[in-house]
Amino acid sequence: MELLDEIMDTLLFWTSQQKKCLQETFKDLEAKPWSYELPVFLLNRCWLRLEKITVMELAERLPTDNSRESPELIFYDQLLKVGYDSIFAMQLCWKEFGMEDFHRALRNSWRWKDRGNNGWTFKKYVALIEQYRANIDNSLIAIPLIVLARQDLKDRHELTWLNPKDCS
């Protein structure tokens, strides 16, 4: 057990202040019902900074890319998936949604691709909330930790779950 603690300390580089914050957060989380005020940790791996925010603040702090979730692009992707030619699929989308709306959705998707958000999608955000809620409903104490991607790189934000043993 002591070896595991040393490995976790080495891997996560928790400072004594960070460990204290984690331990207090786990203690506060015991027997709490689900709410959007529950904690989420963000780890800036470049500076090894650990930040505690709430689930509610997460959407503001890490905006999700849901540009591929627009009805226009979902329809377009479905047409391509069943074998339609891309030009014909686009024309069907124009007919269904209008040329302007289809191209607005496409531009928005390209903008997100250019700007990048390190792979943090709406689906991942919803999956985090569903898993967190299930954990709380089943009395499992685990807090999401999002390891932030390095700036100006195409890395992805990585989600992991912390247990009380990870900071003991």
Average pLDDT on 138-164 reads 87
Given a cut of 80, is residue 153 above it in pLDDT? no
CB 164: neighbour CB atoms within 10 A? 16
At residue 3 the predicted structure's pLDDT band, cuts being 50, 70 and 90, is very low
C-beta of residue 112 within 8 angstroms of C-beta of residue 63: no
Among 65, 68, 62, 69, CA closest to 149: 62
**Least confident window among 90-94, 100-104, 123-127, 150-154:** 150-154
Cα–Cα nearest to 49, from 5, 15, 22: 15
pLDDT tens-digit series, residues 130-148: 999 999 999 999 999 999 9
- pLDDT tens, residue by residue, 102-137: 999 998 888 777 666 787 888 889 999 999 999 999
Is a pLDDT exceeding 70 seen at residue 2?
no
72 vs 69: CA distance, rounded Å: 8
What's the pLDDT score for residue 31?
Answer: 79
Residue 14 CA to residue 17 CA, distance in Å, equals: 8
pLDDT score recorded for residue 8: 47
Burial letters for 81-119: b for 16+ Cβ neighbours within 10 Å, e otherwise? eeeeeeeebbeebeeebeeeebeebbebbeebeeeebbe
Mean pLDDT of the chain: 85
pLDDT band, very low/low/confident/very high, at 1 (cuts 50, 70, 90): very low
Rounded (10°) CA dihedral 110, 116, 22, 20? -150
Q: Would you state the pLDDT for residue 150?
A: 81
Q: Which of 36-40, 42-46, 117-121, 130-134 has the lowest mean pLDDT?
A: 117-121
- pTM > 0.85: no
Q: For the beta carbon of residue 71, count every other beta carbon within 10 angstroms.
A: 13
> Is the separation of the CB atoms in 61 and 53 below 8 Å?
yes
